[in-house]
Amino acid sequence: MIDTTVDVINKLGLHARASGKLIEVTTKFRSSIQIGKGDKLVDAKNIMSLLMLGAGKGTTLRLVIDGADAEKAEEEIKSLFAAKFYEAD
């Protein structure tokens, strides 16, 4: 099991478009993927749950991944956040 953090660094935060891109990544994996603030974790494969987080720029999110492909999932998710969800600044 992986329990780590990711920082929201894109200008608009985890809004609808960014959440959609995150869903594209998370749904490729069989692992259970949860994301949230502290102990309030939500299913990272559910867009409504992601939008309800209200994670704006500067938010540090906890990422918990459990399953056979957890390491690959962590790598792709962190890459997406680092790339600012491929949005223009």
Active-site annotation, residues: 15
Q: Is 19 helix (H, G, I), strand (E, B) or coil?
A: helix
User: How far is Cα 20 from Cα 66, in angstroms, rounded to an integer?
Assistant: 21
Closest to 23 in 3D by CA, of 39, 47, 56, 52 = 47
